[in-house]
Amino acid sequence: MKRILFFLAVIFPILLCAATGHSQDWTSIQEAFRKIKSVRAEFLQKRHLQILKDPLLSEGRFFFDASGSLRWEYLKPLRSVMLQKGDAIQLYHFSEGKWKPEMIQAVEARRMVLAEIHQWFQGRFAESKVFSHIYSSGSPPRVVLTPKEGINKFISRIEILLSAKPGVIDRVEIEEPGNSRTSIEFRNVEINPSFPSEIFEKP
């Protein structure tokens, strides 16, 4: 009995502190996310495929506006851009010196992905219709997204690794069934920059 009391006396406060600390961390992170109105960043995407020894590397940049606009642009190895302004989504690729409309728009699938990206950059993980989330403090802190029924055929798990700077995402790791995965590392992240609205309208 003494042992149990000792255990409770020592362990319970530790657990309580940990829980409180976690809560404070998560609260401050969400508070930081709420202050984000716009983001500009570059990214390096590493696509690991089971049939490739080396990952497929892509580089690009993105512009995000919390009011509902996003420009997700690949610069290498092929140049293409996905533009979202409100409900409108457009895709273009750059070929023979000019931007051309993309034949395979797949707008519905991309709309779903873009909705998720919007939620991530604003810390609104609980609003996802297709993922449940768990916050894990640690080094680095991360949000683990687990797909619900249906989407788990395509994605096994997503980890969003947060920067030491609250509200900033450092890296996103997407795991698929069959040992394929994608890692997106963000660099030169600028929070709340201003940019012209036409970058979400024209390639």
Partner 1 sequence: MTRRQGLHILVLSGLIFSMGCALLTEKAIGPGSPDDLSLCYVIFPAGSWESVHKIEATIRGGASSTLLGVTRGDPTERGLHSLLLTPEGFILFEAELRDGKIRTLKAVAPFDSPAFAIGLMEDVILLFLCPQGKPASWGKRGDGTRICLWEGPDSSRTEIKGSMERGWRILRQDDQGDVTREVSLNGPFVHGLASHLELRAFKPAPYKLRMTLVQAAP
In angstroms, the CA 57 to CA 65 distance is: 26
The one among 3, 104, 149, 188 contacting partner 1 by CB under 8 A: 104
**Is 100 a binder of partner 1 (CB under 8 A)?**
yes
The one among 11, 15, 88, 113 contacting partner 1 by CB under 8 A: 113
The one among 4, 10, 103, 164 contacting partner 1 by CB under 8 A: 103
**Is 112 a binder of partner 1 (CB under 8 A)?**
no
**Is 53 a binder of partner 1 (CB under 8 A)?**
yes
In angstroms, the CA 132 to CA 134 distance is: 7
For residue 23, the SS3 value is helix
In angstroms, the CA 191 to CA 51 distance is: 37
Site pattern 174..203 for partner 1 (x: CB under 8 A): ------x-x---------------------
Whole-Å CA distances, 140 to 1, 31, 64, 168, 171 = 39, 18, 23, 12, 10
What the block records as the tokens of 116 is 């998720």
**Is 157 a binder of partner 1 (CB under 8 A)?**
no
**Is 109 a binder of partner 1 (CB under 8 A)?**
yes
Q: Which helix (H) or strand (E) holds 43?
A: strand 38-48
Q: Which residues bind partner 1 (CB under 8 A)?
A: 45, 47, 49, 51-54, 56, 58, 72, 74, 77-78, 80, 82, 93, 95, 100-104, 106, 109, 113, 180, 182
